């Protein structure tokens, strides 16, 4: 994939990112679980959602604004939490948060981000959303929540689909799930082949710690030691009772991310969540599950009147945002596209990507004959039989 001189799409920024990042970081971002069937379906299945074009409708005044989790937004989009985003550009989470604030969309900070929550909030005036994993050490969980709240976070995005990390073969091939001198030497060789990344990120981007966990994790500056600690902390025994405990601890907005079943969505309502994200973790957990585009209508129909429904997975354009809303979502979260833009062109790239998506969404609304986000629904879609699965 050649590098475009003037990037216009998510794929263009992906090409820029692959030219600037060491290969192990590219594949960390791009890869999915096992054979990556769900990863591919996530993107492909949005293309089977066909818009219904209308003409001679008064569309002089189009308004792409909406609210997500109670936060006013310029378009129905939020930047999803992405672990290690601070390795993709110098202080990457801060750059992305500034871009999101400038374009008036929410930014979500990952538990395993490089920049700590107080650094992100010092660089912006709009509080970010904070993403949390349930760890075995509930004292660590409590401490992170207290710090996030003290820093100004009022929206908690709790990831529920990671009792264990998925089988990500690209990471295995690069030695990211193994310690020792061999994998470290391989990564060092890749880094030396990207002197720009070495200078801008590895050297000038320090400290490359896991910011939100640096006070809790022994040897947090060593990626192998940190990974071993995190792997030991994933808790496959988490149940809905733990969500009730979390609900009692967190006084702000609670969003559950990783819902892929209507019964689970109904249970999310019962335990007091105010929003959910229809998500298969970007195809990075259980390979072979249905895409989020396929699951969204069922879940939105089951609980849409009782809870705010968001979606992520494979969303690659402003037209996909229109599709997501038409299928029942309030809005969509994106991960890989903003990371590609960040790695390829920094804060300016993230700004340009969001602005381009807003223009594309506006065009879709104009040609579908709808002027407000709240008016987009399934009547703006044409029903076509999905393509046969190869």
Active site members: 281
Contact (CB, 8 A) for 130 and 148: yes
Contact (CB, 8 A) for 324 and 311: yes
Name the phi and psi angles at 255, rounded to 5: -115, 130
Coil, helix or strand for 278?
A: strand
β-strand 155-159 against 129-132: which pairing, if any? parallel
Q: How many residues does the chain have?
A: 390
Alpha-carbon distance of 307 to 266, in angstroms, equals 9
DSSP alpha helices (H): ranges in the chain?
10-20, 23-30, 37-46, 92-102, 117-122, 138-150, 169-173, 181-192, 195-197, 223-233, 240-249, 262-270, 292-303, 318-326, 336-368
Contact (CB, 8 A) for 75 and 358: yes
Look at the alpha carbons of 80, 81, 83, 89 in this order and tell me if their dihedral is positive or negative: positive
H helices, E strands: number in the chain: 15, 12
44 CB contacts (<8 Å, ≥6 apart)? 291, 314
Contact (CB, 8 A) for 82 and 109: no
Alpha-carbon distance of 99 to 104, in angstroms, equals 8
Alpha-carbon distance of 32 to 287, in angstroms, equals 8
Contact (CB, 8 A) for 371 and 363: no
Task: Tell me the C-alpha to C-alpha distance, in Å, between residue 153 and each of 96, 127, 130, 254, 340.
Answer: 16, 5, 7, 11, 25
Alpha-carbon distance of 96 to 341, in angstroms, equals 9
């Amino acid at each position: 994939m050649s590098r475009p001189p003037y990037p216009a799409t998510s794929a263009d920024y992906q090409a820029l990112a692959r030219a600037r990042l060491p290969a192990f970081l590219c594949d960390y971002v791009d890869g999915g679980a096992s054979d990556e069937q769900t990863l591919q379906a996530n993107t492909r299945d949005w293309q089977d959602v066909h818009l219904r074009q209308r003409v001679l409708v008064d569309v002089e005044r189009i308004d792409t604004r909406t609210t997500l989790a109670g936060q006013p937004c310029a378009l129905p989009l939020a930047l999803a939490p992405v672990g290690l985003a601070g390795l993709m550009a110098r202080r990457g989470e801060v750059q992305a948060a500034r871009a999101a604030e400038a374009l008036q969309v929410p930014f979500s900070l990952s538990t395993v981000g490089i920049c700590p929550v107080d650094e992100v909030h010092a660089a912006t005036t709009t509080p970010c959303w904070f993403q949390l994993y349930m760890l075995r050490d509930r004292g660590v969980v409590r401490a992170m929540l207290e710090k996030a709240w003290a820093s100004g976070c009022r929206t908690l995005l709790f990831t529920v689909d990671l009792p264990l990390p998925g089988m990500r073969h690209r990471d295995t091939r690069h030695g990211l799930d193994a310690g020792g001198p061999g994998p470290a030497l391989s990564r060092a060789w890749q880094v030396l082949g990207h002197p720009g990344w070495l200078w801008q990120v590895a050297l000038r981007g320090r400290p490359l710690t896991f910011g939100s966990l640096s006070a809790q994790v022994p040897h947090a500056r060593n990626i192998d030691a940190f990974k071993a600690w995190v792997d030991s902390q994933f808790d496959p025994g988490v149940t809905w009772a733990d969500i009730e405990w979390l609900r009692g601890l967190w006084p702000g907005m609670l969003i559950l991310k990783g819902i892929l079943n209507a019964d689970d969505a109904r249970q999310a309502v019962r335990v007091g969540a105010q929003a959910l994200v229809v998500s298969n973790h970007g195809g990075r957990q259980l390979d072979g599950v249905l895409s989020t585009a396929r699951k969204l209508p069922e879940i939105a129909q089951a609980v849409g009147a009782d809870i705010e429904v968001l979606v992520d997975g494979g969303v690659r354009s402003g037209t996909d945002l229109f599709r997501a809303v038409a299928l029942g979502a309030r809005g969509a979260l994106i991960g890989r596209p903003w990371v590609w833009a960040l790695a390829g062109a920094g804060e300016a790239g993230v700004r340009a990507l969001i602005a381009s998506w807003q223009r594309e969404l506006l065009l879709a609304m104009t040609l579908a004959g709808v002027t407000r986000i709240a008016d987009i629904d399934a009547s703006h879609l044409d029903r076509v039989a999905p393509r046969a699965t190869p």
